[in-house]
């Protein structure tokens, strides 16, 4: 009777240990899939544009007037470096929409996060 009890406890102990390892491996695979999807979405949501920097005294203080598909788009750059804050400077940049709020009295179409900014000759 003691042998039967001891044997069943040993089998129970080893069977529980194997199931936990399988569950951990499944979670790791799911996390890797989610991170891959996020990187793909980031690449898709970046856009390359050319625009002209404008400075104002009120509202946005700085905005980019970019042309896309014949329409002019006013963008409020959240993170534009100070060296590009020059009135009339032409720049090429990559942007993605931002969830940041625009300043009060800002008459821009959308706030954006800019990257890969390059100054163009005029």
Q: Which is more confidently placed, 88 or 35?
A: 88
Residue 99 has pLDDT above 80, yes or no: yes
Pair 75, 115 in one domain: yes
State the average pLDDT for the chain: 77
Q: What is the mean pLDDT of residues 48-56?
A: 92
| Pick from 117, 115, 111, 50: nearest CA to 75 | 111
What backbone torsions phi and psi does residue 7 show, to the nearest 5 degrees?
-65, -40
Pair 35, 56 in one domain: no
The strand pair at 62-68 and 71-77 is best described as antiparallel
Q: What is the mean pLDDT of residues 34-49?
A: 52
Are the CB atoms for 14 and 8 separated by under 8 Å?
no
**What CATH number is given to the structural domain containing 90?**
2.40.50.500
Q: What is the mean pLDDT of residues 40-62?
A: 77
Pair 35, 62 in one domain: no
**Does pTM surpass 0.85?**
no
Q: Which is more confidently placed, 105 or 30?
A: 105
How many domains does the chain divide into? 2
């Amino acid at each position: 009777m003691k042998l039967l009890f001891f044997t069943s406890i040993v089998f129970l102990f080893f069977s529980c240990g194997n199931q936990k390892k399988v569950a951990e491996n499944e979670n790791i695979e799911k996390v890797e899939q989610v991170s891959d999807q996020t990187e793909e979405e980031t690449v898709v949501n970046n856009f390359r544009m050319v625009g002209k920097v404008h400075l104002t005294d009120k509202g946005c203080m700085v905005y980019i007037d970019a042309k896309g598909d014949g329409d002019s788009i006013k963008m409020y750059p959240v993170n534009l470096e100070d060296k590009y804050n020059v009135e009339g400077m032409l720049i090429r940049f990559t942007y993605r929409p931002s969830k940041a709020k625009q300043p009060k009295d800002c008459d821009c179409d959308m706030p954006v996060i800019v990257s890969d900014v390059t100054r163009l000759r005029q």
